[in-house]
Amino acid sequence: MQTDYPKEFQRYLDRFDRLVGGIETGQYANYKGRLVCKLDEEAFQLKVDAYMAAGQRFTEMLRSGDTIDDALAIELRSTEVELVLERSLFLPSPISGG
User: If you average pLDDT over every residue of the chain, what do you get?
Assistant: 92
The pLDDT tens digits of the residues spanning 42-57 come to: 999 999 999 999 999 9
Q: What percent of the chain is modeled with pLDDT above 90?
A: 83
- What pLDDT, on the 0 to 100 scale, is given for residue 2? 85
Mean pLDDT of the region 12-40? 97
- What is the pLDDT at residue 66? 86
The pTM assigned to this predicted structure is 0.88
**pLDDT of res. 97:** 55
Domain boundaries defined on the chain? 5-82
Non-local CB neighbours of 6 within 8 Å, separated by 6+ positions: 41
CB distance 91 to 68 below 8 Å: no
